[in-house]
Amino acid sequence: MTEVKKELTPEEEKLTIRDISIAAEAQTKQGDTFYLITQSWWQEWLEYVNQNQANTAIDGSVSEHCLGDSSALKRPSSIDNSDLIYEATSGDSSMGIELHDTLVEGTNYILLPEEVWNQLYEWYRGGPILPRKVINSGLSQTELAVEVYPLRLQLHLMPKDQCSTIRISKKETIRQLHKKACEIFSLNPELVCIWDYFSHQKHALMNDMDKTLDDANIQMDQDILVEVANGNSAGGVNSFHENGTADNGTVALVKPSQSDISNAEGLSLSKGSSRNGTAELLQSQQLASSGTDKTYGSSGVSTRGSSCGLTGLLNLGNTCFMNSAIQCLVHTPEFARYFREDYYQEINRQNPLGMVGELALAFGDLLRKLWAPGRTPVAPRPFKGKLARFAPQFSGYNQHDSQELLAFLLDGLHEDLNRVKHKPYIKSKDADGRPDEEVADEYWANHIARNDSIIVDVCQGQYKSTLVCPVCNKVSVTFDPFMYLSLPLQSATTRSMTVTIFTCDGSALPVACTVTVPKQGRCRDLIQALSNSCSLKHNEKLLLAEIRGHLIHRFLEDPLISLSSIKDDDHLAAYKIPKLTKNSKFLQLIHRREEREIGISQSNVGWKPYGTPLVSPICCDDIVTRGDIQLIVHRMLSPMLRTENPGFNCVSRCKTAASANSSRLAASSEACIDSSLANDDPRQKDVPSSKLVNLEKLPLQLVDENNACIDLTVGEDKSVKLSSSSMSILVFADWSQKLLENYDTRYIENLPEVTKYGPATKKARIEPLSLYSCLEAFLREEPLVPEDMWYCPTCKERRQASKKLDLWRLPEVLVIHLKRFSYSRSMKHKLETFVNFPIHDFDLTKYVANRNSSRRQLYELYALTNHYGGMGSGHYTAHIKLLDENRWYNFDDSHISPINEEDVKSAAAYVLFYRRVKTDHHHSVSNGTVSSAGQHSILSRK
């Protein structure tokens, strides 16, 4: 131990490191160096420096050691990072040091700023030293991240057929890669060019020397071709064998330049950021830390009597979404048989929609390893690398949606294995009254003429789509293929909606009204339900409006507007107005409340909208004065007037005067004069506008056609010029504190949401939701959303048609996606609804519209993915039935365990995989399916 070590107490060491850490991390920037240190040593040091008190540790965690005699905890020995690296590379030189492939930050190691590491190293020494650089990452390249694993690339020298493995940052330029390749193979740089050699194919010449490897889309474990112009320019390569391997397994580590940063696919976020779902990696560490990527290259150790298909997948960092989907696909019997046989002849490298066969080859290679004897977990790193190349949305190590990945894989595998090399152009014909069977077979034959693969054989079905124009009743029928069904979890045919009802004549206070309407109904259904609930008079109607930000966002005047366009967190208001509104406009009363900051004088008062706007019709046949608008507003606000305030005009006088003069302004005096005023003195009906002097003038401002504000508290007899182009008249009511004391404005302050989510809503469902109910909701007729309006060939216009789906042709394997994730403007949430799905005898016979098929449509569940947790994080697993054993297993990344069949059902079920139950007539082709995946002629699918 050095002299410094003896001088510092544990408390002094802790404070020293804390101060250095705070200063260093506050100034972290691109290019800074962080150092890996093993979690076990760091935890030992934390316990040592915190042994006298249960203080919060430097990293924010609380030390969990038992407090006792300080002599019980000795000073840690030298730093030992050997558990982070492979033993074969633990030499003195850092050039050859290789980390275990599946290390997890916070579990296996932590990252220390350079200043913190230097201080600890001065005190304790040890090693090996593992520096890593900070880079800019993320979509905007503005997030700071420490990259633990630089790119590992395989350099292939041609024509010498020699190989070398290097580590290099993908923030390095192609120039740096070219330079290092020439140094490793002792080549003349002027005679060397390098190629993107992805999957041993020349994809692109890497001649843009200033482009980074990241921009060039170079992935982990990718091949790079080093091509020499002539064979005499290479030298110094005697240490390489003819098969391309190097003596002693040498791996060259390319150091980054001072301006760039070492890189890897696995990012460790610094400055308080964290990796989502890292807890899910804990279980794989014991398996992963003792092995290398050789687990991927070998078939495992054969165990006599062991079952195949029980091999797990290592989690590479938030890759559980990928692992669960892959396990379900590789345990689909038709796919397992197909990819374990000779499928290479069907690879379509010419398809511009495919991935030159690379995705199919990577999937087939991974499937074979998962079905090999033995149970050594497989690291799917090569597969993920190719996935990232062709689908950049799944690159990196963030959590993704398992169903979205599954959809990409099915579509990508289909295009890579499409037996159709040249797709013909086929124009679909409308049904035009022809029999459905004829039209369906025609559509299917056209589809097969362009799409013919194992994926189509196994997973694709066909549904009937019927569109009806709401104007001319034109019916359009098409038959479209599907790969999977996405079913909604809301099975109810009705929907509860809450709307607040306002009157325009001051006859009643606002009241929230909850009604039940058809879930896929229109605005006319909502208005009818509200009219019945609020006892609407025969000469009244409701004007429906959506309120946002205390303003009217839109009037829902079109009765055909779909209720599905109204979100659960929207706010709706309905205004009672007279039916007869000829030559009238709508006065919108916008409430504003004063806001002042501390220290600001009374003269600098700011006004901000609040509450809910009120609406009243105003007749434009006569001249409208400022006093007229004052009276209309008085009438609208009169129900909220506090009767206990003697200093303000009484309610009855306000109602009488306001009703008297404004009766001539209303579009229909019969509708605007409330029955509550029927007993008022009829002589009051001719009160002139000068009677406004008996009422307190309200602080109102009218917005004229030039967007200027007119003060309505003065010049009550002056006429108001109304805009001829707008149907609305905007008036601001500025509520001072004094005015708020005279009115009870709580009735207009907070509108309820259309549908309020809460515990009561969740408890409302007593019976579990059935998968059949979800299917029925999916097949139910509903109007198209406004964004997807249909072009009617008869009307020659886009129409919001109603759409009806029917199942027509079912596949051998039916994939069902339960739509658990819901989005709205202000939130996104996951539905934890339990769906009661059948494991055996899932009978779809009655849901198939093709009545010419006498075959029962029975399915049996054999696999499903589960999602636990919330949006953006959580954890995926798979439940899979090994058909040979007739037993269910839980596939949780690398961990596999048997489960009981009754435990398969849970509220976490996300994607279900059903397989057709073979019957005595399983060779029948009457419904367009065949039992063998190999039968793929057009006739066999009619």
- How far is 351 from 189, CA to CA, in rounded Å? 37
- How far is 334 from 263, CA to CA, in rounded Å? 40
DSSP E strand stretches across 306-430 = none
Element (H, E) at 672: helix 669-672
Element (H, E) at 711: strand 709-711
In the residue annotation, 829 being an active-site residue is answered as no
In the residue annotation, 875 being an active-site residue is answered as yes
- How far is 164 from 177, CA to CA, in rounded Å? 13
Treating both helix axes as pointing N-terminal to C-terminal, what angle do 320-330 and 333-340 enclose, rounded to 10 degrees?
Answer: 80
- How far is 153 from 204, CA to CA, in rounded Å? 16
Helix, strand, or coil here: 922?
coil
The tokens for 358 are 């690379």
Handedness of CA 288, 291, 292, 296 (dihedral sign): negative
- How far is 155 from 251, CA to CA, in rounded Å? 11
Residues in Cβ contact with 414 at an 8 Å cutoff, skipping those fewer than 6 apart: 451, 453, 455, 456
- How far is 610 from 749, CA to CA, in rounded Å? 7
> Which residue shows structure tokens 């391309």?
244
Residue 386 identity (one-letter amino acid) = K
Between the alpha carbon of residue 331 and those of residues 235, 315, 325, 580, 915, the distances in Å are 50, 19, 10, 68, 11
> By the 8 A CB rule, do 910 and 866 touch?
yes
> By the 8 A CB rule, do 679 and 649 touch?
no
> Which residue shows structure tokens 């995946």?
933
Q: Which residues pair with 268 in a beta bridge?
A: 146
Residue 538 identity (one-letter amino acid) = H
Helix, strand, or coil here: 399?
coil
Q: What one-character DSSP code corresponds to residue 178?
A: H
Helix, strand, or coil here: 530?
helix
Which one of 182, 320, 328, 504 is the catalytic residue? 320
- How far is 308 from 889, CA to CA, in rounded Å? 13
The tokens for 653 are 């006088």
- How far is 203 from 197, CA to CA, in rounded Å? 6
Please write down the long-range contacts of 17-22, taking CB distance under 8 Å and 24 or more positions apart.
Answer: 17/49, 17/58, 17/116, 17/119, 17/120, 18/58, 20/113, 20/115, 20/116, 20/119, 21/58, 21/112, 21/113, 21/115, 21/116
> By the 8 A CB rule, do 638 and 506 touch?
yes
Which one of 400, 414, 634, 875 is the catalytic residue? 875
Which residues are known to be catalytic? Answer: 320, 875
